Chain A
Amino acid sequence: SAVISQKPSRDICQRGTSLTIQCQVDSQVTMMFWYRQQPGQSLTLIATANQGSEATYESGFVIDKFPISRPNLTFSTLTVSNMSPEDSSIYLCSARDRALRGGYNEQFFGPGTRLTVL
């Protein structure tokens, strides 16, 4: 299995500022994903971040608002730019790889970052 950590675990930010969330995996993974979970809601996929290629964004999410980096096989960052109160959510990092338990059939999640925008 994979252990995924995220920093920060929570933050309170002012409108108009940006926050970068870090995601670290304890093993090399080919696929990493970023999800958003708005208060009391389900998880929505923001983008897929595979090492060596540009992130692929889902409908409704754009790179200018949610730039993503994937510099190596164990690390990724998600930036929430020019934040507004509507961006208040939990942001979760996830990973999947053939070499992990369950292979490509299982996705592991980080503990999430709770973001509050005032």
Chain B
Amino acid sequence: AQTVTQSQPEMSVQEAETVTLSCTYDTSENNYYLFWYKQPPSRQMILVIRQEAYKQQNATENRFSVNFQKAAKSFSLKISDSQLGDTAMYFCAFMKQEGGADGLTFGKGTHLIIQP
């Protein structure tokens, strides 16, 4: 079974600052996917960024980037130029290789607060 650990229950930064959310995971799988989801107060889960384990290059989506360290089983999310709208719960999630019938395994989440 897989486990996902987010060790930061809450973080708070000033608007425009850069913030990094940490995530570690444990798995015996070699092929898998990692995700960061954002859940604002509206409860809607929004995919922020995705990383395929077989890719060495770190994924980037505009202000969001990841630092994927496969050997260390670490998958941190960096948010640059943070904005008030980034305030939300952020969940790190793991999924086995494409096509599998498994759902996602989530970490406990980090509550990110962007201060004006």
Chain A residues packing against B (C-beta within 8 Å): 31, 33, 35, 41-45, 48, 50, 56, 90, 92, 94, 98, 102-107, 109, 111-112, 114
Contacts and interface: CB of A to CB of B under 8 A. Distances in A.
What secondary structure prevails in chain B residues at the interface with A? Answer: loop
A50 B101 CA distance: 9
A105 B33 contact: yes
Nearest to B99: A104
User: Which of B43, B103, B105, B107 is the most central at the interface, judged by chain A CB atoms within 10 Å of its CB?
Assistant: B103
Interface in B80-116: 91, 95, 98-109
B103 A42 contact: no
18 contacts: A31-B101, A41-B108, A42-B91, A42-B106, A43-B104, A48-B102, A48-B103, A92-B45, A94-B103, A98-B99, A102-B50, A105-B52, A106-B47, A106-B50, A107-B47, A109-B37, A112-B43, A114-B43
